[in-house]
Amino acid sequence: MKSFNVAAMAVLAVQAAWAAPASAQDEVKIGVITSLSGPGGYLGQDIRDGIALAVQLGGGKLGGVPVQTIVEDDGAKPGQGKQIVDRLLKNDKVKIFTGIVFSNVAGATVPDVLDAGAFYVSPNAGPSTFAGKECHPNYFVVSWQNDSLHESAGQLANQLGYKSVYLVAANYQAGKDALEGFKRFYKGKVAGESFTRLDQTDFAAEFAQIRAAGPEAVFQFEPGGLGIAFLRQYQQAGLTDKIPMVVAAPSLDAVTLSVVGDAALGVNVTSHWNSDFDNPANKAFVAAWEQAYHRPATYYASQGYDTAMAIGAALKGVGGKLDDANAFRQAMMKADFQSVRGSFKFGPNRHPVQDWYALKVEKGADGKLALVTKSKILSDHGDAYAKECKF
């Protein structure tokens, strides 16, 4: 019988824990829900640190308004993200949320945020579900719509003149979307397709298929650790020199590059941002990042930073007052900040309209590998779902 009383006591203890973060009244609270534990931990870490850097450079303020960021780890679990949102909405009265890395966590948590009348500004995931018919006036995406990553890769494959491409993707929704996006823009022949498992560690079987199909190039969507294993094994299979690779940014970020080394040499990457972009905002960001964290900035970090800047611009526009949701919405839409990507604006469905670039992995003068920006592939590129969006 003790159990029930103790359960009640446990609830009380947790209440005490929740009550702890007290804050000054005039600070705007920003809920940063991100994935810090598990294999995808470094993505969440870079997003969090990108946001933190923007706040730090602003002296604890974004757009001149004092802010308090509440960072929570969702463990890449949808249920956990949902519970955190519930708590931050109801107990801490948070009105602005950001930080989610993975589409499936976003799918479970974002509807709760929007239904409560709060705002969500995405620094990473941009699933198609919220870009078309289900778009929402309080939902903004600073990073990209998932498909455009891969549309740009398809476009690059056209420009590089590859007549046949073999497609490989991890078997989950983002992987399937990736192939759809690539094929939407790619004009040549698809030599074959393979779906791999999310827990797969060995790609030898797929390589044999690729070799048998004999394509001119390979497009793969294997984010994070999967991509590391894929690139390493691709090189050992002797394919790196024979069949060139075209990928979108998630399959080869700065961290992947530093981990796989030579196996990434010569890979074609498409991205909306690169550390070598020549604009003042980016130069300041990259310098500040390296000074603060002593590690290379990834595009996740740049997205976290841009997200914070976008929120800051809107806060400035409404003078830190969140009571008028409509005013805040309009201030967000102006996107009145200097993006580290150069040109940036929101499209009608509040997803980005931006430029996409071709990058290539090359060896620098110091012998170190780097992602080097080559050319612009798409200008003012929006997404295919915007026309379905009606508020």
Contact pick of 156, 245, 248, 255 for another protein (by CB under 8 A): 255
Instruction: Select the span of 222-230, 266-274, 347-355, 361-369 touching another protein (CB under 8 A).
Output: 222-230
CB 349 within 8 A of CB 134: no
Distance CA(124)–CA(118), nearest Å, equals 18
Quote the CA–CA distance of 377 and 274 in Å, as a whole number.
14
Query: Please, what is the minimum distance in Å from the beta carbon of residue 49 to another protein?
Result: 11
- Three-point CA angle 174, 178, 182, nearest 5°: 170
15 belongs to the binding site for another protein (CB under 8 A): yes
Residue from the set 61, 82, 150, 341 that interacts with another protein by CB under 8 A? 82
Of 63, 123, 126, 127, which lies in the binding site for another protein, with binding defined by CB under 8 A?
127
Does the footprint of another protein cover residue 228 (CB under 8 A)?
Answer: yes
Among 237, 325, 333, 369, binds another protein (CB under 8 A): 237
Residues touching another protein, count (CB under 8 A): 89
- d(C-alpha 239, C-alpha 44), whole Å: 32
Q: Which of residues 286-315 bind another protein (CB under 8 A)?
A: 295
Amino acid making up residue 266: G
CA separation for the pair 107, 319 (Å, rounded): 31
| Least distance to another protein, CB of residue 353, Å | 25
Q: Binding to another protein by residue 6, rule CB under 8 A?
A: yes
CA distance 181 to 361: 23
Candidates 51-59, 146-154, 226-234, 369-377 — which segment interacts with another protein by CB under 8 A? Answer: 226-234
Unique residue bearing structure tokens 């790619």? 186
Where in 353-372 is the site for another protein (CB under 8 A)?
none
> Residue 195, interface with another protein (CB under 8 A)?
yes
Cβ distance 141 to 106 under 8 Å?
A: no
3-state secondary structure 49-115: HHHHHHHHHCCCEECCEEEEEEEEECCCCHHHHHHHHHHHHHCCCCCEEECCCCHHHHHHHHHHHHH
What three-state secondary structure class fits 391?
Answer: coil
The nearer residue to another protein, 28 or 169, going by C-beta atoms, is: 169
Residue 50 to residue 122: CA distance in whole angstroms: 13
Confirm or reject binding of residue 38 to another protein (CB under 8 A).
Answer: yes
For residue 219, what are the contacts with CB-CB under 8 A and spacing of at least 6? 150, 153, 154, 157, 165, 166, 167, 168, 182, 186, 245, 246, 247
Choose the stretch contacting another protein; rule: CB under 8 A; options: 51-59, 209-217, 358-366, 368-376: 209-217
Q: Is 347 in the site for another protein (CB under 8 A)?
A: no
Q: Which stretch binds another protein (CB under 8 A): 36-44, 145-153, 270-278, 348-356?
A: 36-44
Q: Is 152 in the site for another protein (CB under 8 A)?
A: no
Q: Which is nearer to another protein, 123 or 127 (CB)?
A: 127
* Site string (16-35) toward another protein, x via CB under 8 A: -xxxx---------------
